[in-house]
Amino acid sequence: MNILDKIVLRKQQEVANAKALVSVKDLEQSIHFNRNTYSFKEFLLAEDRSGIIAEFKRRSPSKGLINGTADVAEVTQAYNNAGASALSVLTDVDFFGGKTDDILAARAANNIPVLRKDFMIDEYQILEAKAWGADIILLIASILTPQQVSDFGKFAQNLGLNVLLEVHNLEELERSICPDLDAIGVNNRNLGDFTVNIQTSFDLVNRIPDEFLKISESAISNPQTIRELRTAGFNGFLIGENFMKTDNPGAAIKEFVGQI
Ligand SMILES: O=P(O)(O)OC[C@@H](O)[C@@H](O)c1c[nH]c2ccccc12
């Protein structure tokens, strides 16, 4: 079984446990449930923002421990102050060391869009995302049927959330693309075997219709790469490890943005 299959299997248990503990009614009563969400598009395209979606990530299956001490409110605020267009917060517990409190803390500390970064396999997780203060959800094409992508996309948009579809190749893009999405992300990392190649983004960008925001995800560590991706047509750049692996992720993003 590859790692993605393991993650999805574990996620099914995690969601079942969560459903048994917190009812949909409880989620709907969260203070965050009835609010206006921040627009992904507005912040990505804002002149005074960098287009970077800056990620808070403690660990990953590919890299192990990345940062064991960073404080989520402190780091996400520094990301925001440095000109991040949005924040990505991992909420997967077992493989990425995330937790619900991380997204609540990021939300409380910031007034820019927050992406709940997780492996979404059930509408219940989309309700959680809204209740925890997220503005954007991620749908990963390789673990969902086209019908699920469309259904989850509609469900999220009806809650006022924006939807980012992640693809890794042309086949996933063509089979999953539908009107119920706001942004398409090309993951430069193969989640099956963890190999990375920025070329994946350049190969797919012109296959993404212009009505969608175009995001390049993973393995970006060089300001020059941002300039090239932007020239190729990308509006957003999802970066985690390059900042999180340093002692001071806030200082790292500031220096990086200064060089774009
Ligand atoms: O840390 P990086 O290489 O900058 O990558 C960030 C982000 O793209 C990556 O964490 C990611 C992309 N898609 C995902 C899906 C699930 C978990 C994590 C991810």
Q: State residue 260's pLDDT score.
A: 96
Q: Ligand 1: residues within 6 Å at CB? A: 55, 57, 117, 140, 166, 187, 217-220, 238-242
Q: How many CB atoms lie within 10 A of CB 10?
A: 15
Separation of alpha carbons 44 and 91, rounded Å: 22
Separation of alpha carbons 113 and 53, rounded Å: 9
Low-confidence ranges of the chain (pLDDT < 50): none
Catalytic residue among 150, 187, 201, 216: 187
The CATH number for 221's domain is 3.20.20.70
- Catalytic status, residue 216: no
Q: State residue 197's pLDDT score.
A: 98
- Catalytic status, residue 55: yes
Catalytic residue among 128, 166, 172, 241: 166
Separation of alpha carbons 37 and 114, rounded Å: 9
Separation of alpha carbons 165 and 139, rounded Å: 5
pLDDT (tens digit per residue) in 106-141: 999 999 999 999 999 999 999 999 999 999 999 999
Q: State residue 121's pLDDT score.
A: 98
Among 131, 73, 128, CA closest to 106: 73
User: Ligand 1 atom 7: the closest Cα is on which residue?
Assistant: 218
User: Ligand 1 atom 13: the closest Cα is on which residue?
Assistant: 187
Q: State residue 193's pLDDT score.
A: 87
Separation of alpha carbons 184 and 221, rounded Å: 21
Structural domain including 80 reads 3-32+39-258
The model carries a pTM of: 0.98
User: Ligand 1 atom 11: the closest Cα is on which residue?
Assistant: 218
Complex ipTM: 0.99
59-60 and 236-239 strand pairing? unpaired
Contact 189, 210 (CB under 8 A): no
Q: What share of the chain is helix, strand, coil (3-state, %, to 5)?
A: 45, 15, 40
> Given its phi and psi angles, is residue 216 left (phi above 0), alpha (psi -120 to 50 degrees) or beta?
beta
Considering its fold, how many domains does the chain have in total?
Answer: 1
Among 149, 157, 151, 145, CA closest to 182: 157
φ, ψ of residue 170 to 5 degrees: the values are: -65, -35
User: Ligand 1 atom 18: the closest Cα is on which residue?
Assistant: 117
Separation of alpha carbons 136 and 120, rounded Å: 12
Catalytic residue among 14, 128, 217, 241: 217
Residue labelled with tokens 């965050």? 32
